[in-house]
Structure formats: structure tokens, C-alpha cells
Amino acid sequence: MTGEVSRQTVITVKKRRPLETLLYAVILVVSIGVVGLTAFLIVYILIQGIPAISVKFLTTAENPILKTVGIFPSIVNTLYMVLFTLLISVPLGVGGAIYLNEYAKNRRLVGAIEFATETLSGIPSILYGVFGYVFFCVLLRLNVSLIAGVLTLSIMVLPILMRTTQETLKAVPQSYREGALGMGATKWHLIRTILLPCSLKGILTGVILSIGRMVSESAALLLVAGGSAMYMPRGNLFEQMSHSGSTLSVELYRYAMSRGDNKTAFGIAAILIIIVIALNLLTRFLAGRLNR
Amino acid sequence: MSETQSIIAVRKGKSGVERTMNLLFLLCGLTAVVCVVFMTLYMVVAGGPIIAKVGFFDFVFGRTWNPENSQFGIFPMIVSSIAATGGAVLIALPCGVLVAVFLAKLAPDRIAAALRALIDLLAGIPSVVYGLLGAILLVPLIFNLQTALRLPTSGNLLAAMLILVIMILPTIISVSETAIRAVPKEYEDAALALGSTRLQSIFKVSIPAAKSGIVAGIVLGTGRAIGEAMAVIMVAGNAAIMPTLLGPVRLLTTSIPIEWAYSSGTHRDALYGIGLALFVMIMAINTIFRKTLKKGGAFDDG
Amino acid sequence: MKGNTEIQKLRTEDLHLYYGDVHALKGINMDVHSRCITALIGPSGCGKSTFLKTLNRMNDTIPSVKITGKVILDGEDVYGKNVDVTVLRKKVGMVFQSPNPFPMSIYDNIAYGPRVHGQKRRHELDEIVERSLTSAAIWDEVKDRLKKPALGLSGGQQQRLCIARCLATQPEILLMDEPTSALDPISTSKIEELIYDLKKEYSIVIVTHNMQQAARVSDYTAFFLLGELIEYDTTNAIFSSPKVQQTENYITGRFG
């Protein structure tokens, strides 16, 4: 009988552990809170912003005399900015990643390039603005212009493109390289026919992330590309790029801060959120799975 | 065997294309280095003179910022930046780690995936949109508090902090989650086998083991918070005075865009000086980040 | 050695290889005979794969490698001045341990080599593809799906495809680095048959750690141990009456 008493049984009544339960509750509450807040914010922006969006809103410029608002110029500016920045940064970023992954043999050089890339990705956008202004606008005499914005953005997204490309290049099996080199392919041939096609998806992911960054950017562009977007785009592309102009994000700031026109600001915010969601879905689609 | 081919090159050395491409790729790789060198150089060239003119001590520790009277003390901004960032990290860290634990250990896979997607989205929202939300939703709430306490209503440090919390949460969550997931399952199994509960094993074993990863998340979040400008401008009230929780503040970052448009001459130089101060702070944080990452790497190898 | 009656294709003279501080090959002197199969055997880490890769300079891609000595191919030093590595590798083809078809169609895999070396004409490429696949004994299995991805083939088929891909550049020597180690027994025997057929036209050097395989297919066998060439002779001689004790120990399974 005494033996029976001292033996532990695993089927005891569940021990109450108040601390444990509390901790579970806290984790759950915080998680639901964060997620709920995110969902709320996104829905709130859409509800506040979508009523402001109309065909006229999207296709005209602001008219102070008629007191109408329109964001067509900043849509065009944003598109130009994205397009030209990609034209500069994609070759540089992809090329740099190829150099690091396929050519570089000197460890110190690799270290220097990787250090530089990390540093660039850690610098806040307002400092890109200051540098871009001092260097591109003043020193290179580009003035406050879209082209100065393009050059500044190109440096900002360079680390994103380099990192994503490098990651996909690393994922290309070494045996493909051996196979091609073993048949007498030159390095450039190997890159052209195998490595680039294999890493296309990853490069596209980098491009999409970069577009997200450019569309979101405001601080740097406010300084180097300027604020006003009142005028309709000029016919001449070169002329358009050499003038100042605001992208959607900068325009949002302008409406909210200097005008206190929150309705328009939310309209732009809703458009930005829709773009962000679209880009996000696109990267997920590219990753080949809608749910991770 | 007469048809055997010679392996001696027709032309000497590597082909022209090969060499050109090699050079081109090298130049692409060097772009980043050149950019960093130029940025450092021009931040110093632009920001150095005003600091030399005012004097390092008076610039960094001066308590009055009054460009019209040529008073360029940025101490209030430095303190405000540190306060806003520090406060934001202090709030975001526990929340972030708890959410990371939930995602990595407790939530069912499909739910975790959906939540992660939502949090990713949070990371992609432009700062101006956060600023707008803060100005419309958060600041009025704090007005009530200020009124109740008979303080003047204005944008304030608390609002700036809370906006920054939301902005750095995705970073802290995702970095911490990755770190917690990287802890070998055997560690937790060992703890479970010794009779600890699920949560005990997570908090006593997994989180300490993921410490360096979580620290990396903190540093990354700190970097992001200290560099944020636009969202903060829209909620912070922007007076260049020493910070109080419910009073208006101006950070290093926000001073630049606020005064940019109407500054010139020495005043503009002073803004460059602020830029340089911020640049130095960011570089210091990045260096710490790299060091913690290296330590983290040592753990991962082990 | 008995090989004097046959034509010598490739010879190494006092070949040393260092990985940084590690001395991985120690003064290898060896002849490879034309239209014969030479097997390299030895325990893993003995340097046999490393040796194989020196023959078409595949070690060039590893930064820390240093090589001294000579590899003479048809009277020309592989490590000499003015050697065009791409031509060398066209002449000395290589098949790898695990099948490594490129992520493209079967046709494009085979045409890859000829295209590298400048062949663009569709008609001739078609011909090369058919000839190579036929030589690699896989034509009948894939002729109806040349445009399908090569990665859809089975492991054994992939390896024969890789052999075909190698043949398409019209090499004179084939280097095979444990070509069957990743395959099932049936695929292995198919590949072995193929290798045996190929020696009519090609000189083949094959690394294997399967001694039965060496005994089955090769004419000559070289035994490597700790970076040294311990014994090299006809396969018959090595397996029936090895002269060195270490060779006998290895063959009888006392270590490795």
C-alpha cells in the first residue's frame, strides 16, 4: 500500500499554473493586438482614401483657380522615377552581385564591397537626401530635379538588388557551373546562358522590392527632386526629367502638411497601399507559393 | 590520331569579350564602395565647416537652436532622437519577441503564414502614410490626455515613439522569429524531456539561445527608428527644445526637411552639420550591428 | 609497364597540387593510353578526383590551388603558356559525380557545348544532337521529347544525357568522376556498358571507389593513397598480382 502512494502517476489532475496561463494570454493578446492593428490601419486607409479617388483625380493636375485636385503629374513622375532608376540600378546591382559571386577572388575586395553594401542599406533616406543634394544637385549642377532623384534612388536600391541577386546566384547549383565550364564555356557564356536565366526570378524579386522602396520614398526625394507637382508633364522627356517634381509619396506629404488637405492625402495613401499590396502579392507569387 | 586538336590558343590570353565583361562586372561591384566613400566624403565636406565654426562642443552640446541668431546647438535634437528611439525600442522589443514566439512556436502553420504576410505588409507601408495615420488617429487621442493634464495640445514625443514602434515592429518580429527558429529543436526537446512545460522551454532555452539574433533585430530596429524622418515630422510638434513625453519634440532627422526649404547660407550649413552628426550616429550603430552579427554567426556555426 | 605497345595520349610528369598548405598530390607520374579505359581507385580523400580535375584544369576555378609539374596532352603542356582552356576542355570532356543537366530542354543541353564553340547552324546542331544521343545509348528513349526539360529524366537517363552532352563537343578524352555513384544498380550497369562501348573512339579516365567496377570496365588501374600514386598497371595485374602491399590491402578490403 505504501508503494502505491509514493508512485507518481502521469494522469494527475492538470496542475494549475497561473503564471503559465497568464503568459499564454499575454502572448496571444499582444499578437492579436499587433495583427489587428495592422489590419485596422490598412482597412482604415482604404476606407478613408478610396472615396477621394476618381477618374478626374487620377488624370488631371491640381488647379488652384478651379480648386480641384489631381495627382496625374505625380503618377507620371513616379513612373518615370521608377523606370529610370531601374535602368541604372539593375545593371549595376546585378553586375555587382555577379562580380562578388562569380569573379571575385580577392577576399579583401569582397569584404570591402560587402561592407559598402551593408553600409548603404543602413543609411537613412534623409541622409541620402542631403548627400544627393550636395553631390548631384549642387556639385554636378543637376539642380533639384527628377534626374537627381533618379540618381539618388539608384544608390538607395543598389544594396537591395545586389543582395537579392547574390542570394539567387548562391542558390544556383555548383554543378551547373562545373558542367558548363567543363565543356569549355567561358565565364561570360556561363553567366549569359545559365546563371542569368536561372536567377531571373530572384532578380525580379529584387526589382519589385526596389520599386516598393522607390514608391515609398519621400524624405530624400523632397530634398533632391523637390515638391511641386502642379504642372502637367511636359512633352519633352529630357525637359521633364531636368525639372523638379514630386512623386506620390512626396505629394502626400505636401497635401497633408502644407495644405492640411487630408482627404486628398488619404486618397494618395490608399493608392500607395494598393501598390504596396500588389507588389507584395507579386513577390509572393514569384516565390512560387502564396503562403509560405 | 592525326585529327587531334591543338590546345594552344589562336589568340594570346583571354578573349577580349571575356576581359571586358570581367572589368565591367568589377566596376559594378565597386559602385557600392565608391558610393560609400563619396557619401562619407561629402557628408564631412558639407557638414564639417559649420561644426568647426561653431565649435564641436557648442554644436553638439549647445542647448539653443536659433538659426536667426546664429545659435546652432543641436543637443535637444540629439536627446530627442535618443529618447524617441530608445522609447520605441523599449516598447517594440517585448511586443516583437512575444509575437515572434507566437509565430515561430505556438501558431498553427497556416495561421502563422497569414500573419507573417500581414506583418510583411506593415513593413512595406511608406513612412508618409504612417505619418498621416499618426496625425489623424494618434495625435488627437493624445490631445485628450494633454487637455486632461492641462498641457498645451501639440504633436509630441509620445506620438513619435508610438509611430516608430509600429514602424520597427516588423523588423524586430521577423529577425527574432528567424533567430528563434534557428535554435536546434534538440535544445527544446532536452528541456521538455526534463519535465519543463512548453513555455518554460521556450523562454528558458530557445530565447536565450536566440539572444544574439534578437539583439541583431534590436540594433536593426534602432537604426531604422533613428533614421526615420517623415513619419515623425507629421506627429512630433517639431519644437527644438529638450524633450518631455507629452511636449513637442524635434529629432535630428526631422530638423533637416522642416527647415530645408527656407534655409540658406550658414543656416543650410548647420543642417548639413546635423546630417553629419546623424551620419556618425548611424555608422556607430551599424558597426555595433556588424559586431553582434558576427557573434551570432559564431553561434550558428557551433 | 605494359602500356608501351599502345599509343600514349596523356602523360603527367612530377605533378604536385597544393590546396593552400595541404599537399594533395605528390609527384604523380602517369601515362594514359589512347582508346583505353583507365580507372583511378583509392580510399576517399586520396586525391584521385583532384588528379582527374588537373587533367582539364577544372581546379583553376578554386582560388587557393597551386599546381607544379606537367600534364602533357598530345605533346602539349596543359599548364603551358598560351593554352586556351576552352579548347582544352572541349578536347578533354568531363562527366561529373552526380548528373548535372542544365535546367533547359534535352536538345538545348546537348547543343550547349557545340554552341559554346560557335556552332549555330540548326541543321548541323540537329545532326550533332542525334549522333551524341545515339552514341550515349539514350536516343531511343528521348527522341520524342527533345524539347522537354532535361530535369524530367530519371537519374540514370540524366547521367547518360550528360555523357551525350559531353560527346557533343567531340572530345578526345573523357574524364569521369565517379559517374555511377549516385545511380541505382540497373542504371549503373547501363552506364558501364556505355563506357565500354565508348572506348572504341575515346580515351577514358574514370574515378571510382567501386573496385568491382574498375575490374569490370577498365584496361588499366591506378591506385592512389594519400596523394600518391602507389601502383599503376594493367587492371589484370593490379587485381591478380599487385606488387605493392598497400594495393593488396586495399583491394582485399583491409582498409578504405
State the nearest Cα–Cα gap between A97 and chain C, in angstroms. Answer: 18
Please, what's the b/e burial string for B138-171 (b: 16 or more CB within 10 A of its CB; e: otherwise)? Answer: bbeebbeebeeeeeeebbbbbbbbbbbbbbbbbb
**Cβ-based contacts under 8 A for chains A and C:** 65
Interface residue C85 vs chain A (CB under 8 A): yes
Secondary structure class of B71 (helix, strand, coil):
strand
Alpha carbon B78 to chain centroid distance?
Answer: 16
Per-residue pLDDT of chain A (292 residues; tens, 9 = 90+): 444 555 566 665 556 677 788 888 888 899 999 889 989 999 999 999 999 888 888 888 887 777 788 888 889 899 999 999 999 999 999 999 999 999 888 889 999 999 999 899 989 999 999 999 999 999 998 888 899 999 999 999 999 999 999 999 999 999 999 999 988 888 899 999 999 999 998 899 999 999 999 999 999 999 998 876 566 677 777 777 888 888 999 999 988 888 888 889 999 999 999 999 999 998 888 877 533 3
**Cβ-based contacts under 8 A for chains A and B:** 243
Q: Which of C9, C36, C87 has the highest number of chain B CBs within 10 A, making it the mutation to test binding with B?
A: C87
Cell of B63: 542647448
Sort out which chain B residues have CB atoms less than 8 A from A98's CB and list them: 25, 28
State the nearest Cα–Cα gap between C113 and chain A, in angstroms. Answer: 6
Alpha carbon B152 to chain centroid distance?
Answer: 31
Note whether C89 contacts A184, CB cutoff 8 Å. Answer: yes
Domain boundaries, chain C: 2-100+155-251
Task: Report the topology of domain C2-100+155-251.
Answer: Rossmann fold (3.40.50)
C132 and C168 in contact (C-beta within 8 Å)?
A: yes
Cα distance between residue C256 and residue C250, in whole Å: 6
pLDDT at A149: 94
- Work out the number of other CB atoms within 10 angstroms of the CB of residue A240: 19
Per-residue pLDDT of chain B (302 residues; tens, 9 = 90+): 446 777 776 655 567 888 899 999 999 999 999 999 999 999 999 999 999 998 999 999 988 888 888 889 899 999 999 999 999 999 999 999 999 999 998 888 888 988 988 888 888 899 999 999 999 999 999 988 888 888 888 888 999 999 999 999 999 999 999 999 988 888 888 888 787 778 888 888 888 888 888 888 888 899 889 999 999 999 988 888 888 888 889 999 999 998 888 888 899 999 999 999 999 999 988 888 777 766 654 444 32
Cell of A78: 513616379
Q: Count of H helices and E strands in chain A?
A: 15, 2
| Of the candidates C56, C50, C55, C47, the residue with the CA atom closest to the CA atom of residue C12 | C55
- Using CB atoms, pick whichever of B1, B7, B10 lies closest to residue C78: B7
- Ordered domains of chain A (ranges, CATH): 74-286 (1.10.3720.10)
Interface residue A204 vs chain C (CB under 8 A): no
Which amino acid, one-letter code, is at B134?
Answer: G
> In sequence order, which ranges of A50-145 are alpha helices (DSSP H)?
55-59, 72-98, 107-122, 125-132
pLDDT at B10: 67
pLDDT at C237: 92
Cell of C130: 542525334
Residue of A nearest to C115 (CA): A185
Residue of B nearest to A292 (CA): B113
B247 and B156 in contact (C-beta within 8 Å)?
A: yes
C53 and C59 in contact (C-beta within 8 Å)?
A: yes
Interface residue C39 vs chain B (CB under 8 A): no
- What DSSP string runs through B270-301? HHHHHHHHHHHHHHHHHHHHHHHHHHHHHHHH
Neighbours of chain A (3+ CB pairs under 8 A): B, C
Interface residue B7 vs chain C (CB under 8 A): yes
Instruction: List, in order, residues 6 or more apart from B282 with CB less than 8 Å away.
Output: A122, A123, A124, A127, B223, B226, B227
C179 and C189 in contact (C-beta within 8 Å)?
A: no
Note whether A187 contacts B230, CB cutoff 8 Å. Answer: no
Classify residue B110 by burial, with Cβ atoms within 10 Å: 0-12, 13-18, 19+. Answer: exposed
Per-residue DSSP letter, B8: B
φ and ψ at B75, to 5 degrees? -55, -45
User: Hey, which residues does C231 pair with through a beta bridge?
Assistant: C223
Interface residue A44 vs chain C (CB under 8 A): no
pLDDT at C38: 94
User: Hey, which residues does C229 pair with through a beta bridge?
Assistant: C224
Residue of B nearest to C56 (CA): B7
Note whether B290 contacts A112, CB cutoff 8 Å. Answer: no
- Using CB atoms, pick whichever of B107, B124, B234 lies closest to residue A280: B124
Note whether C91 contacts B7, CB cutoff 8 Å. Answer: yes
State the nearest Cα–Cα gap between A100 and chain C, in angstroms. Answer: 14
A147 and B67 in contact (C-beta within 8 Å)?
A: no
φ and ψ at A61, to 5 degrees? -95, 165
φ and ψ at C82, to 5 degrees? 65, 15
Note whether A256 contacts B39, CB cutoff 8 Å. Answer: no
Sort out which chain A residues have CB atoms less than 8 A from C89's CB and list them: 181-184
pLDDT at C162: 93
* B82-87 own/partner pairs: CB under 8 Å, 24+ apart: B83/B157, B83/B161, B83/B243, B83/B249, B84/B157, B84/B160, B84/B161, B84/B164, B84/B225, B84/B232, B84/B236, B84/B243, B84/B249, B84/B251, B85/B164, B85/B222, B85/B225, B85/B226, B87/B157, B87/B161, B87/B164
Cell of A219: 524624405
Instruction: List, in order, residues 6 or more apart from C242 with CB less than 8 Å away.
Output: C223, C231, C248, C251
pLDDT at A144: 87
pLDDT at C254: 67
Residue of C nearest to A196 (CA): C103
Q: Which of A126, A215, A285, A291 has the highest number of chain B CBs within 10 A, making it the mutation to test binding with B?
A: A126
Q: Which of C87, C88, C102, C169 has the highest number of chain A CBs within 10 A, making it the mutation to test binding with A?
A: C102
pLDDT at B86: 94
Sort out which chain B residues have CB atoms less than 8 A from C82's CB and list them: 8-9, 12
**Cβ-based contacts under 8 A for chains B and C:** 32
The answer, yes or no, to whether ipTM is higher than 0.85 is yes
Neighbours of chain B (3+ CB pairs under 8 A): A, C
Interface residue C11 vs chain B (CB under 8 A): no
A58 and A75 in contact (C-beta within 8 Å)?
A: yes
Q: Which of B7, B11, B14 has the highest number of chain C CBs within 10 A, making it the mutation to test binding with C?
A: B7
Note whether C82 contacts B9, CB cutoff 8 Å. Answer: yes
Cell of A84: 529610370
pLDDT at C41: 92
Query: A62-79 pLDDT, tens per residue?
Result: 877 777 888 888 898 999
- Using CB atoms, pick whichever of B106, B115, B227 lies closest to residue A124: B227
Residue of A nearest to C165 (CA): A183
Q: Beta strands B65-66 and C8-19: pairing type?
A: unpaired
| pTM greater than the 0.90 cutoff | no
Sort out which chain A residues have CB atoms less than 8 A from B206's CB and list them: none
Which amino acid, one-letter code, is at A41?
Answer: L
- Using CB atoms, pick whichever of A105, A173, A178 lies closest to residue C58: A178
| Of the candidates C95, C59, C87, C85, the residue with the CA atom closest to the CA atom of residue C202 | C95
- Work out the number of other CB atoms within 10 angstroms of the CB of residue C132: 25
Interface residue A46 vs chain B (CB under 8 A): no
Note whether A191 contacts B223, CB cutoff 8 Å. Answer: no
Interface residue A180 vs chain C (CB under 8 A): yes
Secondary structure class of A70 (helix, strand, coil):
strand
Residue ranges of A 189-218 with Cβ closer than 8 A to chain B:
191, 212, 215-218
In order of A138, A186, B18, B241, the CA distances from B270 in angstroms are 17, 54, 49, 17
Instruction: List, in order, residues 6 or more apart from C234 with CB less than 8 Å away.
Output: C2, C3, C219, C220, C221
Per-residue pLDDT of chain C (256 residues; tens, 9 = 90+): 444 446 788 899 999 999 888 999 998 999 999 899 999 999 888 889 999 999 989 888 787 889 999 999 888 888 888 888 888 898 999 999 889 999 999 999 999 999 988 888 999 999 999 999 998 889 999 999 999 999 999 988 999 999 999 999 989 999 999 998 888 888 899 899 999 989 888 999 999 988 889 999 999 999 999 999 999 999 999 999 899 999 998 888 766 5
CATH number of B58-301: 1.10.3720.10
